[in-house]
């Protein structure tokens, strides 16, 4: 019976350790890519093919809690926009491979780094839940900047896909 009790204690301890390890890796990514690593990744995947056809303009979105989200926009059609959202542990650069397709279809683009990603201050990540409130605020700020009558589409991969789905009422 003492061996069974030790086995149960070991099992519980192991599960607590694994749960904490998983939660820590989901909330605070250990490795954020440097600019050189991002550029190398983009060059290897060919994500920049054709991206010299337009310019990206940096933009900052200030959230109601004061957190600043860094992004870029590229104007094409001033009335049609697509907001691209990246996945967990990635950044707005990873959206370029999709953004170019939308740009070729005539859309203006907005892409940004989620909280705790890319150029933003490190914070915890909620895998789309809190991030969708940021995205809704970004939509409001894009409308304020480019016009209330613009059409906005949302596109996201992985965590960005969850974020965009949570924005739809």
Q: How far apart are CA 168 and CA 163, in angstroms?
A: 9
pLDDT > 70? residue 30: no
Q: Which of 8-12, 90-94, 105-109, 134-138 has the weakest average pLDDT?
A: 8-12
pLDDT > 90? residue 86: yes
Is residue 26 classed as helix, strand or coil in its secondary structure?
helix
Range 39-50 average pLDDT: 51
pLDDT > 70? residue 143: yes
pTM of the predicted model as reported, rounded to 2 decimal places:
0.71
Strand segments (E) across 23-163: 57-62, 68-74, 80-85, 108-112, 151-156
Q: How far apart are CA 107 and CA 25, in angstroms?
A: 35
Residue 53: per-residue pLDDT = 46
Q: How far apart are CA 107 and CA 80, in angstroms?
A: 5
Range 80-85 average pLDDT: 96
Strand segments (E) across 89-150: 108-112
pLDDT > 60? residue 43: no
Neighbour-count burial of 78, counting CB atoms closer than 10 A to its CB (0-12 exposed, 13-18 middle, 19+ buried): exposed
Q: Which of 22-36, 49-63, 110-124, 130-144 has the weakest average pLDDT?
A: 22-36
Residue 69: per-residue pLDDT = 96
**C-alpha to C-alpha distances, 54 to 17, 94, 127, 153, 155, nearest whole angstrom:** 49, 17, 31, 20, 20
Q: How far apart are CA 91 and CA 71, in angstroms?
A: 10
Residue 13: per-residue pLDDT = 65
Range 57-72 average pLDDT: 96
Range 48-53 average pLDDT: 48
Residue 11: per-residue pLDDT = 67
Residue 166: per-residue pLDDT = 93
Average pLDDT value over all residues in the chain: 81
Helix %, strand %, coil % of the chain (to 5) = 45, 20, 35
Q: How far apart are CA 49 and CA 99, in angstroms?
A: 11
């Amino acid at each position: 019976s003492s061996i069974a009790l030790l086995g149960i204690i070991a099992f519980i301890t192991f599960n607590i350790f694994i749960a904490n390890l998983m939660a820590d890796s989901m909330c605070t990514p250990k490795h954020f890519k440097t600019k050189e690593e991002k550029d190398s990744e983009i060059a290897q995947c060919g994500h920049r093919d054709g991206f010299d056809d337009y310019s990206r303009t940096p933009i900052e979105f200030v959230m109601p809690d004061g957190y600043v989200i860094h992004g870029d926009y590229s104007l094409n059609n001033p009335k049609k926009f697509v907001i691209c959202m990246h996945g967990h542990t990635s950044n707005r650069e990873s959206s370029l491979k999709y953004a170019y397709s939308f740009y070729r279809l005539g859309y203006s683009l907005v892409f940004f780094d989620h909280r705790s990603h890319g150029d933003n201050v490190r914070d915890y990540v909620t895998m789309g839940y809190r991030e969708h409130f940021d995205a809704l605020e970004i939509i409001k700020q894009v409308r304020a900047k480019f016009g209330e009558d613009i059409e906005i589409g949302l596109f996201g991969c992985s965590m960005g896909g969850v974020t965009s789905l949570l924005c739809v009422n």
